[in-house]
Structure 1
Amino acid sequence: MKLIKNRTALGIACIVLSLFICFDLTPMFNKAVANKVKIIRVTKDITIGDEITSNMIQTIEVGGYNLPNNVIKNKENIIGKYATTDMKRGDYILSSKLSDTPLA
């Protein structure tokens, strides 16, 4: 109880905590955010049932932080498949938006 009332000890504890945050936690967070991943993105609007061709998609590099697990990262996994939902220009292509067979 005496240690908490001592302003000098409390000030030193605050300084040590702030140094830990500045030099340990912040660089770890920035490193996690800075990781880049190549993914596939739509360049033209695609409607339900369209067969996806190479001129409809492009490979881009984005930050990997909070990226969905089922985002497609390989062009070969997309070309020749069919869209199960409408996709707008700039959308990421998820595996749930693709089908191997055309929709009836």
Structure 2
Amino acid sequence: MIRKRSTVGLLCIVLSLILTLVIAPLLNQKSSEQTNIVRLVKNVPKGAAITSSDLETVRVGTYHLPTDVLTSPDNAVGQYATVDMLKGDYLLPGKISAVPLDAYVSRLNGTKQAISISIKSLAAGLSGKLQPGDIVTLIASDYGEMRTTTAPPELQYVEVLALTTSSGTEAQSPESMPTDPDEDEQELPSTLTLLVLPQQAALLADLENKSKLHAALVYRGSAATAKTFTDKQDAYFTAMSAPKVEGTHE
């Protein structure tokens, strides 16, 4: 018993030394490390462009600091706020966007329209991986009384304009979502806003009420290549509206 107690006492002394001489200094060093970050000096409303006068660079401790916090004003000036931000807020990639939130509105010249559809499940929206500019094919399942599944040719190539969460904020792209498990979980998109012709808008409104819509990714890349897909879709409606020429009979 005396030998066992001596062993336990010796282990406790060793552990105490390790805690005092190794672990404690490491924790103190981590808590004392500092870095420069970008912080707001005034309130910035959602959608506003961020200017240099809105920002300051301060030195803060790195302990519990998000790994993707912005450290240079150059990464924020000229960007647009995707949420309402308050004085003193740190800047994170998910809070800013390189394009205005309603940039697509300028593309509505009377020919095409913007319409939103619901994403009724994680799978229906490509597991949250869709991005503005993607070309998708829309598939309707459980459609009508017969509960059929259909991929209308009118919705073969459709451009995604925006993705919005249930709280009304612009959904983050997968690249800007935090990878740290300790950070707050980000909201997934609940609606897709699409650029469509009036005929497509009417069809989508019907499918929204009578089916479950799924988006299948067709293309992601350059805007020029994406346009070749939407041009094919537009050509489909042009051909459908063209007057039919009756054949000649001998």
User: Residue type matched to 2:61 in 1?
Assistant: G
1:61 matched to 2:59: yes
- Partners of 1:70 and 1:10 lie apart in 2 by 45
TM-superposition CA deviations, 1:27-62 (whole Å, max 9, x none): 011112211110001110110011111111100111
- Partners of 1:69 and 1:8 lie apart in 2 by 46
Aligned to 1:42: 40
- Partners of 1:20 and 1:84 lie apart in 2 by 47
Q: Please point out which of 2, 25, 28 is paired with 2:26.
A: 28
Deviation at 1:75, TM superposition (A): 0.6
TM-align CA RMSD: 1.6
Aligned to 2:10: 12
Q: Please point out which of 80, 86, 103 is paired with 1:88.
A: 86
- Partners of 1:29 and 1:83 lie apart in 2 by 35
Higher strand share: 2
**Structure of higher CA gyration radius:** 2
Query: Structure 1: 5+ residue runs without aligned partners?
Result: none
User: Residue type matched to 2:70 in 1?
Assistant: I
Query: Structure 2: 5+ residue runs without aligned partners?
Result: 103-250
Partner SS state of residue 30, structure 1: helix
Provide TM-score, normalisation by structure 2: 0.39
Superposition pairs for residues 68-83 of structure 1, below 5 Å? 68-83=66-81
Aligned to 2:164: none
Q: Please point out which of 100, 104, 129 is paired with 1:102.
A: 100
Deviation at 1:8, TM superposition (A): 3.0
Deviation at 1:65, TM superposition (A): 2.1
What count of residue pairs does the alignment treat as equivalent? 102
Provide TM-score, normalisation by structure 1: 0.88
User: Residue type matched to 2:100 in 1?
Assistant: P
Q: What is the percentage of aligned positions where both structures have the same residue?
A: 38
5-14 vs 33-42, which moves further: 5-14
Deviation at 1:11, TM superposition (A): 2.1
**Greater relative contact order: 1 or 2 (C-alpha under 8 angstroms, separation 6 or more)?**
1
Aligned to 2:241: none
Q: List structure 1 segments (4+ residues) > 6 angstroms apart after TM superposition.
A: none
Partner SS state of residue 11, structure 1: helix
